[in-house]
Amino acid sequence: MRFKKYVRNCLRVLPKNVNTCYLHCRDNYVGTISKSRENLFILKELRYENKKYLYGVNSNKKRIIILLESPHINEFNRNLIAPALGTTGEKLHLYLHKLLYNNGLLNETEYCIFLVNAIAYQTSLGFATTIYRDKIFRDLWEKNSIKNSLIRRINRINPSIIINASTAKFKKMMTKFLKEKFQCDIWEADKHPFVWNNKTSIEKR
């Protein structure tokens, strides 16, 4: 879709200090994980070093998708446009293995981990998420082109498990959509990864 055209039509007049990027933020493969080991490159610096692997799909391994809502400021920079390049990525790096392990989702089989945004455009427009993000996200979510894009991207990855780790405002409607469209196991994280800690939990839906 033409996100820039949509934003101009939606807001009529863009704020003079708008700080956004209208490019598509592609889904990322960020390494493998199993019960006994993790070989992830979620951190920003590691993502830079492993750019050539970010868009591949290993057909021989099962896959887990961590589903976020939309990219924000840190996800758009000179070196790379990718999901969860800031604090969200740091928290995923710290807590993902423990969270999956504690919920019995890991065995000695290696799982490929993918980071996916439900809407792969910067719906916050670079401002605080309380200003534009919710309106733009909800408006776009109603468009078939956005949902069809997400379906295609998830089907391409072909996950065994999807963990809905979106912000609480969108979690219920996104989980409903996932359960309607996909046959794999759907889980929800109780918090967005930006604030994950040792008490974070996930639950199967």
Tens-digit pLDDT profile for the chain (205 aa)?
688 788 777 776 666 666 667 789 999 999 999 998 899 999 999 999 999 999 987 778 899 999 999 999 889 888 899 999 999 999 999 999 999 999 999 987 899 999 999 999 999 988 888 888 999 999 999 999 999 999 999 999 999 999 999 999 999 999 999 999 999 999 999 999 999 999 999 999 9
Rounded CA separation 14/7 (Å): 8
Rounded CA separation 166/149 (Å): 17
Q: What is the pTM of this model?
A: 0.93
Rounded CA separation 47/81 (Å): 10
Question: Which contiguous run of DSSP H or E holds residue 83?
Answer: none
Rounded CA separation 137/117 (Å): 11
Rounded CA separation 62/39 (Å): 15
The tokens for 157 are: 């990855």
Q: Specify the amino acid at residue 94.
A: L
Domain boundaries, the chain: 3-204
Task: List pLDDT tens digits, range 106-116.
Answer: 987 899 999 99
Instruction: With beta carbons less than 8 A apart as the criterion, state whether 25 and 81 touch.
Output: yes
Phi, psi of 176, deg, nearest 5: -60, -45
Q: How far is CA 190 from CA 128, 150, 205, in A?
A: 22, 22, 12
- The sign of the dihedral angle between the CA atoms of 139, 140, 143, 147 is negative
Instruction: With beta carbons less than 8 A apart as the criterion, state whether 204 and 102 touch.
Output: no
